[in-house]
Amino acid sequence: MLHLLNDWLNDEHVIFDDDILCNMREFLAFVNGAESEELDELVLNILHGICEKNYRRPPAPLIVSPSQQTHTHPSPRDLAIALTVLEGERYKRIVASEYMACVSGLQPYFPNLSAAIGLNQLISKWVRSCILDESLGNGRNGIKARSKVKKYFVKTAEECRKIRNFSSSGAIISALESEVIARLTATQGGMSIRTTQTHGNLLQFFGKKCNYKDYRKALKNQQMCSIPWHVVDLEDIQAMMEGDADTAQEDNSPQIHLERWARLKRWAMSALHYQIPFTGEDACQMAKDYFMAGLQQEHFDQEKRSLLLKAEEDKIVSKRAGF
């Protein structure tokens, strides 16, 4: 077990979160002090590896709203490139066995796949926060400001799609279609016809009702650099495995369902086939700094804020209509 932990920690492609590293330390506390110099040395090496992982781990990529910036926020294109670099770094670390272990339950934690999914969810959460940000103000001015921020993210999602970062584009669209944002109809109504059309095209591209038909068509060309959207990958895995038994029966004896795992392995290798569109050197540094600047961002109840804004928007719309 200790040798296995040591191998994991020495693998630069494996990312551990704080909970896992904390559990490792607690486990080592019981092992340390054993009557074996070899064992003690191994424990010290593992503790050193834990410290190295803590030191090397990149900061959590929270983002701040355009309204919270003291300098001009990056263009949608530059932000799209920065998101692509950050998501690409997570994507290229995933190994096929993590997808297989995810559905099989053979291990409790899938560090690289979890890190990629976590970043994607974080982007979506941040987009919602930016649109609901209190600093955008209230009343008609607040509606106008929220519409402007929403327009900014529609453009960013479109730029992500153009450079084939489908993961970030899907995360942004998912945020824009979330209930806390979608209920703000006056904010949506404040966007231009052109932006509304772009938004509609992106909704169709990532349309779940037609099983992501346009997205799958765009992803078919495996020779082009792309970052697939993990949401669709996980749905595909679930659909693939439904109805399949873990074991097959032959001569009244249970046997491992090898065909099932072979099919899953082929799918996982295909999902991880793509090259990422950009590397770290290609990113606009200001956009990356903008992305990372939200480490101190304050969290708030998005549902509560959304309901307050909805009531305010309805009141303004009623006044305009003369009710």
Q: pLDDT tens digits, residue range 226-241?
A: 999 988 888 887 777 6
Q: Work out the pLDDT band at 99, boundaries 50, 70, 90.
A: confident
Whether 176 and 72 share a structural domain: yes
Domain boundary among 56, 77, 102: 56
- Residue 88's CB is within 10 A of a number of other CB atoms, namely 26
Highest mean pLDDT among 27-31, 154-158, 265-269, 272-276: 154-158
d(CA 111, CA 118): 10
Whether 12 and 157 share a structural domain: no
Residue 161 token pair? 């799609």
Q: Work out the pLDDT band at 178, boundaries 50, 70, 90.
A: very high
Q: Tell me the backbone φ, ψ of residue 153, rounded to 5 degrees.
A: -80, -30
Whether 143 and 32 share a structural domain: no
Q: Which of 127-141, 197-211, 276-290 has the lowest mean pLDDT?
A: 276-290
Whether 178 and 150 share a structural domain: yes
Task: Say if CB 66 and CB 149 are below 8 A apart.
Answer: yes
Whether 218 and 291 share a structural domain: yes
C-alpha dihedral sign at 208, 119, 279, 131: positive
Task: Say if CB 46 and CB 28 are below 8 A apart.
Answer: yes
Whether 163 and 276 share a structural domain: yes
Question: What range does the domain containing 129 cover?
Answer: 66-321
What is the average pLDDT across 80-106? 79
d(CA 299, CA 61): 14
The whole-number pLDDT of residue 13 equals 59
286-302 confidence digits (pLDDT tens): 666 666 665 446 678 89
The whole-number pLDDT of residue 272 equals 75
Residue 58 has pLDDT above 80, yes or no: no
Residue 61 has pLDDT above 60, yes or no: no
- Can you give the pTM of this predicted structure? 0.72
Whether 169 and 276 share a structural domain: yes
Is residue 61 included in any domain, yes or no? no
Domain boundary among 16, 32, 56: 56
Whether 84 and 34 share a structural domain: no
Pairing mode, strands 253-256 and 247-250? antiparallel
The whole-chain average pLDDT of the chain stands at 76
Whether 234 and 92 share a structural domain: yes
Is residue 164 included in any domain, yes or no? yes
Is residue 310 included in any domain, yes or no? yes
d(CA 69, CA 187): 21
Domain boundary among 56, 84, 99: 56
Q: What CATH number is attached to the domain comprising 262?
A: 1.10.840.10
Q: Work out the pLDDT band at 109, boundaries 50, 70, 90.
A: low
Residue 171 has pLDDT above 90, yes or no: yes
What is the average pLDDT across 84-110? 75
Whether 26 and 87 share a structural domain: no
The domain total for the chain is 2
The whole-number pLDDT of residue 234 equals 80
Q: Report which secondary-structure segment, H or E, holds 261.
A: helix 258-271
